Amino acid sequence: MKHILILLTVAALFSSCSNDDDSSDVVTPVASQKTTITFDARAGSSDFALNKDFTIGTQVYNFTKLRYWVSNISLTDSKGVEYKVPNSYYLMEEVGDLDLTGTVNGGKMIYPANKRESITLSEIPAGDYKKITFSIGVDSKYNDNLSLQAGELSIANGMSSIAWMWHTSYIFSSIAGTVKQGTDAASFLSETGLNANFKTVSVDFNSTVDLSKPVILNVDVTKVFDGVDLVKNPKIDASSATLMSAVAVNMATKTITLGSVVK
């Protein structure tokens, strides 16, 4: 009888081991993909370019600089599940050589000409998505403490300011150029910043899409200045808080729209 009990116990142990190795208990890793998000700069219906005249209504714009931060990107899938892209801080820009002498450790520094419109996001959970959400600017955690680093955040690119009265912080957007209206003309520099002007944008894809294909967002730079008279107000910064707020709101509500999604 004792021999029979021993055999039954051994059989049960082998059976238990077999069940532990059952493939149905194996967790399959979530497949990932990468995607490209392009912020296609436009001036009305034309492709954006530096040092080129664009006639929009009664005004003629000529841009010499376009820079802005895109941050805190998240993607919402077809089931409503949100994926937050970690460390997503990206500087989008189209600039010529910038003389940043004196802005970093007081030394001579030339920031080289650059055009950057696209972001590649890796390790995105595979699936169909219906919306992208992101912010223009830098959230207070990093805006209030420039010693913290994440993504592409840095004070070495001239996108921070010590002239905004209260504390050093990031410049959220910086756009410069000239504008003409009739016989009136002005050189302008529009900069936004400060925590109150950190704005979030959501863009629906109209239908669910596979993000292994690229997404193109249109960025109409002229819409940034809807309702703002740049001839009369050629300098926009923290000293003109109302105008700065208007520009920040325009960036979030009028400037960026869905261009196309390859399905």
Q: What is the pLDDT of residues 191-240, one digit of tens each?
A: 999 999 999 999 999 899 988 889 999 999 999 999 999 999 999 998 99
Please report the pLDDT score of residue 168 as a whole number: 80
76 CB-side CA count, 13 A = 13
Please report the pLDDT score of residue 167 as a whole number: 64
DSSP assignment string, 76-142:
EETTS-EEEPTT-EEEEEEE--EE-TTTSTT---EEPPEEE-EEEEEEEESSEEEEEEEEES--HHH
Average pLDDT over residues 239-257: 97
Q: Taking all residues of the chain, what is their mean pLDDT, rounded to a whole number?
A: 87
> Does residue 159 contact residue 170 with C-beta atoms inside 8 Å?
yes
pLDDT surpasses 50 at 189: yes
Q: What is the pLDDT of residues 45-74, one digit of tens each?
A: 999 999 999 999 999 999 999 999 999 999
Q: What is the pLDDT of residues 226-239, one digit of tens each?
A: 999 999 999 999 89
Other Cβ atoms closer than 10 A to 204: 11
Domain ranges of the chain: 33-261
pLDDT grade for 162, boundaries at 50, 70 and 90: low
Task: Kindly report the pTM of this predicted structure.
Answer: 0.86
Both tokens assigned to 185: 């003309």
Please report the pLDDT score of residue 2 as a whole number: 41
Please report the pLDDT score of residue 20 as a whole number: 46
DSSP-derived pairing of the beta strands 184-193 and 235-236: parallel
- SS3 state at 242: helix
Question: Can you name the residues that pair with 71 across neighbouring β-strands?
Answer: 89, 135
pLDDT surpasses 70 at 35: yes
Q: What is the rounded distance in angstroms from the CA atom of residue 85 to the CA atom of residue 120? A: 11
Burial (CB < 10 A; 0-12, 13-18, 19+), residue 214, is: middle
Amino acid at 9: T
Distance of CA 90 to the CA centre of its chain: 6
Q: What is the pLDDT of residues 115-149, one digit of tens each?
A: 999 999 999 999 999 999 999 999 999 999 999 99
Burial track 237-253 (b if 16+ CB lie within 10 A, e otherwise): bbeeeebbbbbbbbbbe
Q: Which of 29-43, 150-164, 215-229 is most confident?
A: 215-229
pLDDT grade for 243, boundaries at 50, 70 and 90: very high
> Does residue 221 contact residue 255 with C-beta atoms inside 8 Å?
yes
